[in-house]
């Protein structure tokens, strides 16, 4: 039995790009949740640091994550990332240690 691939994506908006980044990230939610390999996809914004977003993600396996990255809607978002992000997207992989 394979463990799911769980991660947090950290995305920090450039000054003036907070709403555009938020809209772009929100547009990924519905289609990503419909992917057969997706288990969890939830967007958060830091209360104390507006414009810093965290996407909690879980996919069945690496292949499912790779398929997500290849989708047209993710590729459209990725094409805008340089204009929206103040630093490169950080993807932190997590290992679940409790229920």
- For the question of whether the overall pTM of this predicted structure is more than 0.85, the answer is yes
**What is the structure's pLDDT at 3?**
86
3-state helix, strand, coil in the chain (%, to 5): 40, 30, 30
pLDDT digits (tens, 9 = 90+) for 49-63: 999 999 999 999 999
**pLDDT above 90 for 99:** no
At the topology level, CATH places domain 5-94 in Alpha-Beta Plaits (3.30.70)
Instruction: Mark out the alpha helices in the chain (DSSP H runs).
Output: 18-33, 62-70, 72-84
Average pLDDT score over residue span 63-77: 97
Least confident window among 47-51, 75-79, 95-99 = 95-99
Q: Which residues contact 98 (CB under 8 A, 6 or more apart)?
A: none
Percent of the chain scoring above 90 in pLDDT: 94
Instruction: Show me where the domains of the chain are located.
Output: 5-94
How far are the Cα atoms of 4, 8, 35 from residue 28, in angstroms, in the given order? 20, 15, 11
Nearest by Cα to 9 from 60, 70, 74: 74
């Amino acid at each position: 039995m394979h463990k799911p691939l769980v991660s947090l994506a950290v995305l920090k908006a450039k000054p003036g790009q907070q709403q555009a980044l938020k809209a772009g990230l929100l547009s990924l939610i519905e289609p990503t949740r419909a992917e057969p390999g997706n288990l969890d996809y939830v967007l958060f914004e830091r209360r104390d640091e507006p414009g810093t977003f965290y996407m909690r993600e879980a996919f069945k396996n690496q292949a499912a994550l790779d398929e997500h990255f290849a989708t047209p809607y993710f590729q459209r978002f990725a094409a805008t990332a340089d204009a929206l992000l103040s630093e490169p997207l950080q993807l932190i992989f997590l290992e679940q240690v409790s229920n």
